[in-house]
């Protein structure tokens, strides 16, 4: 996120600080990969739909391809790995913790505007490391927005639909030419009768699970890895050891953690003697599709609703609450970043002094 800020705001000046915060809040508030959605929104606002789509492919496909190749390699290795490999992967996780911590502190300094947002950042970050569940992170985001909504607006303003005289951003006004690919159709359903389609049952189940994950994941990185563990490892499609190797590899790669779906999908298909390429593509489409479609449709009408005082107040809290998710990422990687070469299990990075 902080790289986006430096690149597109400081260096290129495509957007201003307020618009960046709005797009950041939208990306965090909707399901799917937050970093991918934010990059998509920035390009959609500044360059249009075609540029946003091209950027999406350029951002996700290189690492997705790498994860596919790595999955093929992991599928060929024996049950035990040299201790040096486990140490290398643990070192990747440790370095990632430091980089993300730096980004979190920089984003916190921009999100905290007063005592209320300071309370939101501290409270949600603390709450995020204490508990983990599918419903938990959306709830924290909603509470954050509600907090600033109640604080900022008088009772009469909360119910008023009259927009304030605040400025509107020219790039986010309704633009039929730029946002001509509107989100009109509902998301594809995950429950499909397999008898109508000549698709192997496992691949259909894999797509269904990935599509469901991409639709219900709020919070990005902190949620996607434990959720995919339940949807893939619990189904016995991928072993616990291969899953932990994938987690370590994706932490050392640029781009969104959601690309671990390609790794897991490829392994799941190969283990079931289906095409690993088909499994990787199915997983990639299922995990990324819902979030990108949803944020595109939201941004298409954002120019109409963004000027409302209530929306501005809610977004202020959502933006502050979204920062807590980054601290949660740090905590989760710290707790499970050290791969024990003897047991093959994940342990806390604090267990190893180096």
In this structure, the number of other CB atoms found within 10 A of the CB of residue 49 comes to 18
Distance CA 96, CA 247 (A): 12
Q: Which domain holds residue 179?
A: 2-351
Residues in the chain: 354
The confidence score (pLDDT) of residue 284 equals: 94
* Residue 186 pLDDT greater than 50, yes or no: no
The confidence score (pLDDT) of residue 46 equals: 87
CA dihedral 247, 248, 250, 256 (to 10 degrees): 70
Average predicted confidence (pLDDT) for the chain: 76
Distance CA 172, CA 302 (A): 7
Contact 88, 342 (CB under 8 A): no
What are 145's two structure tokens? 């927005």
* Residue 282 pLDDT greater than 80, yes or no: yes
Selection from 323, 322, 296, 316 nearest residue 41 by Cα: 296
User: Which residue has tokens 């000549």?
Assistant: 198
The confidence score (pLDDT) of residue 288 equals: 92
Digit-coded pLDDT (tens) for 107-162:
777 778 788 888 888 888 888 788 776 577 778 878 888 998 888 876 544 444 44
Count of structural domains, the chain? 1
Digit-coded pLDDT (tens) for 43-99:
988 888 999 999 999 999 999 999 999 999 888 877 666 777 777 777 777 777 777
User: Which residue has tokens 């957007």?
Assistant: 15
* β-pair partners for 9: none
The confidence score (pLDDT) of residue 341 equals: 66
Selection from 296, 313, 320, 14 nearest residue 166 by Cα: 313
What are 287's two structure tokens? 């995990």
Distance CA 337, CA 349 (A): 5
Rounded to two decimals, what is the model's pTM?
Answer: 0.67
* Reported confidence tier of residue 221, pLDDT bands at 50, 70, 90: low
What are 199's two structure tokens? 């698709």
* Residue 268 pLDDT greater than 60, yes or no: yes
* Residue 187 pLDDT greater than 60, yes or no: no
What are 167's two structure tokens? 């400025």
- 3-class SS of residue 215: helix
Q: Which residue has the higher pLDDT, 58 or 252?
A: 58
Q: What are the residues whose beta carbons fall under 8 Å from the beta carbon of 239, sequence distance 6 or more?
A: 233
pLDDT above 70: percentage of residues in the chain: 78
The confidence score (pLDDT) of residue 133 equals: 67
* β-pair partners for 338: 347
């Amino acid at each position: 996120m902080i790289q986006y800020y430096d690149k597109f705001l400081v260096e290129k000046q495509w957007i201003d600080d307020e618009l960046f915060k709005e797009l950041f809040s939208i990306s965090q508030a909707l399901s799917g990969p937050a970093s991918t959605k934010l990059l998509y929104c920035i390009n959609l606002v500044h360059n249009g739909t075609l540029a946003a789509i091209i950027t999406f492919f350029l951002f996700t496909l290189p690492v997705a391809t790498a994860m596919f190749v790595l999955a093929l390699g992991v599928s060929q290795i024996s049950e035990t790995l040299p201790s040096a490999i486990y140490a290398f992967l643990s070192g990747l996780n440790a370095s990632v913790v430091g980089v993300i911590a730096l980004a979190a502190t920089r984003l916190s300094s921009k999100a905290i505007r007063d005592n209320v947002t300071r309370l939101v950042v501290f409270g949600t970050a603390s709450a995020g490391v204490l508990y983990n569940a599918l419903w938990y992170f959306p709830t924290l985001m909603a509470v954050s927005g509600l907090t600033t909504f109640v604080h900022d607006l008088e009772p009469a303003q909360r119910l008023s639909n009259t927009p304030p005289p605040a400025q509107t951003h020219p790039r986010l006004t309704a633009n039929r030419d730029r946002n001509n690919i509107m989100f009109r159709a509902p998301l594809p359903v995950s429950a499909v009768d397999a008898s109508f389609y000549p698709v192997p049952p496992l691949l259909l189940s894999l797509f269904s699970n990935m599509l469901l994950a991409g639709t219900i994941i709020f919070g990005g990185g902190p949620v996607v890895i434990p959720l995919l563990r339940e949807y893939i490892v619990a189904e016995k499609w991928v072993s616990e050891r291969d899953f932990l190797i994938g987690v370590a590899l994706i932490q050392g790669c640029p781009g969104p953690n959601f690309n671990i779906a390609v790794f897991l999908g490829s392994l799941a298909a190969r283990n079931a003697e289906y095409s690993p390429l088909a499994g990787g593509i199915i997983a990639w489409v299922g995990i990324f599709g819902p979030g990108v479609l949803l944020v595109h449709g939201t941004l298409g009408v954002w120019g109409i609703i963004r000027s409302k005082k209530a929306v501005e107040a809610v977004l202020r809290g959502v933006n502050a609450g979204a920062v807590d998710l980054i601290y949660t990422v740090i905590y989760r990687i710290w707790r499970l970043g050290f791969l024990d070469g003897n047991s093959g299990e994940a342990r806390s990075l604090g267990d190893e002094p180096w």
